[in-house]
């Protein structure tokens, strides 16, 4: 996973908090910044995909490893 | 946003702890996706807008409610205790116990509290409409509610919901 501008650890949090915290973090960043979000909620995989699709921010990467889910998001607007 | 703003209109009509979650979860998730969100709190859902609200969970008529222990080894916690609903609902103090067990289980699993979700909804500019008629019927005072609540009637909610993409009654 590439180097992100900011890392947001949502481990231990359940729906809808990873998505809510991601939205807040992205809002506070500047255009072109990337956010790495880490979650333990398996629902984050479909939810982050839906969130990126709805908000039109770019989901560069999403993967599951060792019980954690990692996402790299680029702020596009 | 590239494809216009989506809009979610919810009616929250139930005030028990279990039923308090769905409207706040849906509202905060939608707001996090940039949607315009409004919730109409009516009948038993109205107390969810009180400054000091105490939601509890009842086993009465809640026949599908799983009964799990929030402590002990994982295998023990995963047991769904086969206590008949008619018995659960009739034990004095059961409601208080079930409420604290549900809160503990949710906390253990990392689920936000209803209070946290409500504050998140406020922070995300979710529009909250308190039903005027319910306030009058139950004798609630305006001062008992959070200042973010707009007090209005069915017509005001319907005007908001008229161009919503998603409308749900909870």
Measure the CA–CA gap between B107 and A10, rounded to whole angstroms: 15
Which of A12, A51, A77 is nearest residue B110 as measured by Cβ atoms? Answer: A12
A15 included as an active-site residue: yes
B85 and B58 in contact (C-beta within 8 Å)?
Answer: no
Give the residue from A3, A7, A63, A70 showing the smallest Cα distance to A35: A7
Domain A6-74 part of CATH 3.30.110.40: yes
CB-count burial class (<10 Å; 0-12, 13-18, 19+) for B96: exposed
Q: pLDDT tens track of chain B, all 170 residues?
A: 445 699 999 999 999 999 999 999 999 999 999 999 999 999 999 999 999 888 888 888 787 888 888 899 999 999 988 888 888 888 888 899 999 999 999 999 999 999 999 999 999 999 999 999 999 999 999 999 999 999 999 999 999 999 999 999 99
Q: How far apart are the first and last CA of chain B?
A: 28
Q: What are the boundaries of each domain within chain A?
A: 6-74
Measure the CA–CA gap between A16 and B95, rounded to whole angstroms: 27
| Cα Dmax for chain B | 56
Inspect the interface and report whether the beta carbons of B25 and A23 lie closer than 8 Å: no
* Chain A residues with at least one Cβ partner in B under 8 Å: 12-17, 19-20, 22-24, 40-41, 47, 50-51, 54-56, 77
Domains and CATH numbers, chain B: 7-55+113-169 (3.40.1260.10)
Measure the CA–CA gap between B146 and B122, rounded to whole angstroms: 10
Give the residue from B112, B101, B110 showing the smallest Cα distance to B77: B101
Q: What is the ipTM of this complex?
A: 0.91
Inspect the interface and report whether the beta carbons of B112 and A51 lie closer than 8 Å: no
Instruction: Using the structure block, give the residue that is written with the tokens 């079930």.
Output: B98
Q: What is the pTM of this model?
A: 0.92
Instruction: Using the structure block, give the residue that is written with the tokens 């004798």.
Output: B139
Measure the CA–CA gap between B91 and B112, rounded to whole angstroms: 28
Residues within 8 A of A (CB atoms), B 101-160 only: 109-112, 117, 120, 124
């Amino acid at each position: 996973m590439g180097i992100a501008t900011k890392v947001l650890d949502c481990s231990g949090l359940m729906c809808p908090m990873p998505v809510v915290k991601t939205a807040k973090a992205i809002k506070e960043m500047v255009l072109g910044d990337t956010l790495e979000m880490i979650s333990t909620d398996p629902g984050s995989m479909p939810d982050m995909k839906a969130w990126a699709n709805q908000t039109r921010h770019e989901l560069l990467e999403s993967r599951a490893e060792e019980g954690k889910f990692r996402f790299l998001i680029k702020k596009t607007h | 946003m590239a494809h216009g703003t989506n809009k979610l209109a919810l009616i929250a009509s139930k005030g028990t702890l279990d039923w308090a979650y769905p409207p706040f979860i849906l509202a905060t998730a939608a707001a996090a996706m940039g949607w315009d969100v409004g919730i109409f709190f009516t009948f038993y859902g109205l107390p969810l807008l009180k400054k000091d609200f105490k939601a509890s969970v009842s086993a009465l008529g809640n026949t599908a409610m799983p009964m799990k222990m929030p402590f002990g080894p994982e295998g023990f916690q995963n047991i769904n205790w086969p206590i008949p609903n008619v018995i659960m609902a009739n034990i004095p103090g059961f409601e208080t116990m079930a409420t604290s067990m549900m809160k503990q289980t949710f906390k253990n699993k990392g689920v936000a509290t209803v209070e946290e979700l409500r504050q998140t909804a406020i922070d995300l500019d979710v529009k909250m409409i308190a039903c005027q008629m319910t306030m009058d019927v139950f004798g609630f005072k305006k001062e008992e509610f959070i200042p973010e609540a707009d007090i209005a009637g069915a017509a005001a909610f319907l005007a908001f919901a008229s161009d919503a993409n998603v409308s749900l009654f909870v």
